Structure 1
Amino acid sequence: MTDATSRDGSRSGSTAQPVGGAKGPDELRRQIEETRGQLGDTVEELAGKADVKGRAKARAADLKDKAGAMSVQLRSSAAHAGHTVQDKAGRAGHSVQDKAGRAGHGAHDTAGRAGFGHPRAVLAAGVAVGAVAAAGLVRRRRHGHC
């Protein structure tokens, strides 16, 4: 709105004085400087909010940092899990090896008591049984008995 002067010299419309009114030129200058400072802060805030590209870059950098940290954490967890599995597999392998060794010794002892005193004799007997079984299978297939 513009100020208008009536015929009697009184003013109507908006006034240059704030609601509280300045008590002199120095007070008015101080209020103007204060308002300029507030306006500058407001303009900066609005410019920051309007800078979509800048905000997107900042958000992308933040997400990249979080992803990098998560990647390091996942690698550490995977390495730990790998070591755990490797340790368990090693213990299981040793356990199976021990049991197989005990079973082999038991079979050797049993073969010795059964009259197969030498491992070669046990091997020869196994080969003979396998050959008989294979010959039987070949004969059945040739005669059409699958």
Structure 2
Amino acid sequence: MTDRTKGPAELRKQVERTRGELGATVGELAARADVRGRALARAADLRDKAGAMTVQLRSSAAQAGHAVQGGATRAQHAVEHRAPQPVRRVAQAALRLPRPVLFAGAAGAAVVAAGVLRRRNGGR
């Protein structure tokens, strides 16, 4: 046999190789044509990203909440140590019994509002 002529075994190998390449090409074309499958895969990717972002945002929010809580605690300690004794007693009582303090504050606000309205109307 010469270089130009190929034997049956060589031709079979070439045919099998060509079939394999053709099968891969057809598979790639089918994947490109599967719009629904690609859309579903993209939606799954976006869902995963959204889930990861949700976890990250919750973590950031928790850290911010802890930071604010720490700042509030520091402010509370500063007020406790610097405020006059009568103010501290009233604040502690308000923490123990918030409802009476709320009613007293509302009554005080009503008295102030009545005074402001009376002044605006010329004492009528």
TM above 0.5: yes
* In the alignment, structure 1 residue 50 sits paired with structure 2 residue 23: no
How high is the TM-score relative to the length of structure 2?
Answer: 0.63
Instruction: Give the corresponding residue for 1:84.
Output: 67
Deviation of 1:52 after TM superposition, in Å, equals 1.1
Structure label with greater radius of gyration? 1
Q: Where does structure 1 lack aligned partners over 5 or more consecutive residues?
A: 1-19, 105-133
Higher helix residue share: 2
Tell me the amino acid that sits aligned with residue 50 of structure 2.
A
Q: Where does structure 2 lack aligned partners over 5 or more consecutive residues?
A: 88-111
How high is the TM-score relative to the length of structure 1?
Answer: 0.55
Alpha-carbon spacing, 1:44–1:30, altered in 2? closer, same or farther (3 Å) = same
Instruction: Give the corresponding residue for 2:90.
Output: none
Instruction: Give the corresponding residue for 1:26.
Output: 9
Tell me the amino acid that sits aligned with residue 38 of structure 1.
E
CA deviation profile, 1:19-61 (whole Å, cap 9, x unmatched) = x855122211211111111100110111111111111111111
Alpha-carbon spacing, 1:21–1:71, altered in 2? closer, same or farther (3 Å) = farther
Alpha-carbon spacing, 1:81–1:41, altered in 2? closer, same or farther (3 Å) = same
Instruction: Give the corresponding residue for 1:59.
Output: 42
Q: Give the CA RMSD over aligned residues.
A: 2.9
Equivalent residue runs for 1:121-140 within 5 Å: none
